[in-house]
Amino acid sequence: MLFGGKGSIGLDIGSSYIKAVKLKEAKGGYELELFNVHPLPPELIVDGSIIDSLRLVDSLKEMITTAGIKAKNAVISISGHSSVIIKRISLPEMTEEELSESIKFEAEQYVPFDIEDVNLDFQIIGPKDEPGQMDVILVAVKKDIINEYINVVREAGLNPIIVDIDSFALENMYGTNYEVELDRNIALLNIGASTINMSILKGGISVFTRDSSLGSNLHTEALQREFNLSYENAERLKRGESVENVSPEDAKGVIESASEEILNEIIRSFDYYRSTTVHEDISEVILSGGCALIGNFAAMIAERSGVETRIADPFKNIKIPKKFDMSGIEEIAPIMAVAVGLALRKQGDR
């Protein structure tokens, strides 16, 4: 490492903020080494696709400078229902090597894209109740999307060593910070500006994932329309500032009705999960992403779904040295969930 940057940085490139987290191993766990959030101009990334790579590279470079990022290696991630397919499938029992060879063939019927256009990966979860069958998590990601992200990160001067999936990073974050509860099903919900990542864990193992393209942009757009505001001002209003004579109190109703739209999607996904699996009901929701910071969003989920909802604390088991502004971190911790999960990954991980 020429630049003395040991280890890799977790870089969550969202459509509204880039989040960076670096951890180091400390006695019995992890310690925070670097933490940064960098806002992105709107419309550089739309629907998980990079629309303006030049400006995204500039933003990344800016962040690297302001955050003092010395590490060269980065772990990044991708999400979104239009470019990532994650499915739990049932296959005849075979070894990992055997599946590596036949995965393309097996995947074909589950992936709605040309199989040559995707990178495939899988994880064998274990034997099924039916003899001779096994459960496998199949992951297919469009190659062009992976390449877009890899190129941007390289252009910004970093070396992308792992391209992860947002919902897997969330599971990683959860596994490090929370006790695995064998008989409870936990729904991890990460709701950013334009994407919902949902992952349901049973005994710590993922049994269901789903991405939808909805998020807190709905709040921003509703505020823009209602009060005739610019994107920037609507964002400030959403975060609780008064703008152009509109107070957060005035904005409350508009925010709540946009939240209803997002809630409908969540409830639909929960219903779908309940209708397609034999697993028991959801016991708890752990909410992360920008939506977790919106007034009573967590309470609204709890009320509508009937499931106890907690806001994620991605730094629950991570030591935060005194040099960091603790209250600043606490304030936005829920949006760091994916970045923490990425920072936990090690080179050589699958």
Ligand X SMILES: Nc1ncnc2c1ncn2[C@@H]1O[C@H](COP(=O)(O)OP(=O)(O)OP(=O)(O)O)[C@@H](O)[C@H]1O
Q: Which residue is nearest to ligand X (CB)?
A: 290
Secondary structure (3-state) at 322: coil
- The whole-angstrom separation of Cα 307 and Cα 252 is 23
Minimum CB distance to ligand X smaller for 200 or for 223: 223
Q: Which whole-number Å values give the CA distances from 56 to 14, 41, 84, 167, in the listed order? A: 11, 9, 21, 23
* One residue of 9, 11, 14, 168 binding ligand X per CB under 6 A: 14
Which string of x and - marks every residue 182-211 that binds Mg ion (by CB under 5 A)? ----------x-------------------
CA neighbor of 166 nearest in space, from 138, 188, 136: 188
**Does residue number 16 form part of the binding site for ligand X (CB under 6 A)?**
yes
**Does residue number 236 form part of the binding site for ligand X (CB under 6 A)?**
no
Give the footprint of ligand X on residues 160-199 (CB under 6 A). 192-195
Strands 73-78, 29-39: pairing is unpaired
Minimum CB distance to ligand X smaller for 122 or for 174: 174
Minimum CB distance to ligand X smaller for 14 or for 341: 14
**Does residue number 290 form part of the binding site for Mg ion (CB under 5 A)?**
no
Report the nearest approach of Mg ion to the CB of residue 49 (Å). 14
Report the nearest approach of ligand X to the CB of residue 297 (Å). 9
Burial class (CB in 10 A: 0-12, 13-18, 19+), 131: exposed
- Asked if residue 40 lies in contact with residue 59, where contact means CB atoms within 8 angstroms, the answer is yes
| Contact stretch for ligand X (CB under 6 A) within 22-30, 50-58, 93-101, 285-293 | 285-293
Q: Which helix (H) or strand (E) holds 173?
A: helix 166-177
53 Cβ contact list (under 8 Å, min separation 6): 148, 151, 152, 155
Report the nearest approach of Mg ion to the CB of residue 12 (Å). 6
Look up residue 319 and give its two tokens.
């030591």
Minimum CB distance to ligand X smaller for 136 or for 214: 214
- Asked if residue 287 lies in contact with residue 298, where contact means CB atoms within 8 angstroms, the answer is yes
**Does residue number 15 form part of the binding site for ligand X (CB under 6 A)?**
yes
| 15 binds, options ligand X, Mg ion, none, Cβ within 5 to 8 A by partner type | ligand X
Look up residue 220 and give its two tokens.
């921003």
Report the nearest approach of Mg ion to the CB of residue 164 (Å). 12
Q: Which helix (H) or strand (E) holds 151?
A: helix 143-155
**Does residue number 289 form part of the binding site for ligand X (CB under 6 A)?**
yes
| 193 binds, options Mg ion, ligand X, none, Cβ within 5 to 8 A by partner type | ligand X
27 Cβ contact list (under 8 Å, min separation 6): none
Phi, psi of 218 (to 5 degrees): -60, -40
* One residue of 290, 318, 339, 340 binding ligand X per CB under 6 A: 290
Hey, which residues does 188 pair with through a beta bridge?
199, 286
| 216 binds, options Mg ion, ligand X, none, Cβ within 5 to 8 A by partner type | ligand X
Query: Where along the sequence are the contacts to ligand X (CB under 6 A)?
Result: 14-17, 192-195, 215-217, 235, 238-239, 289-290, 293-294, 335
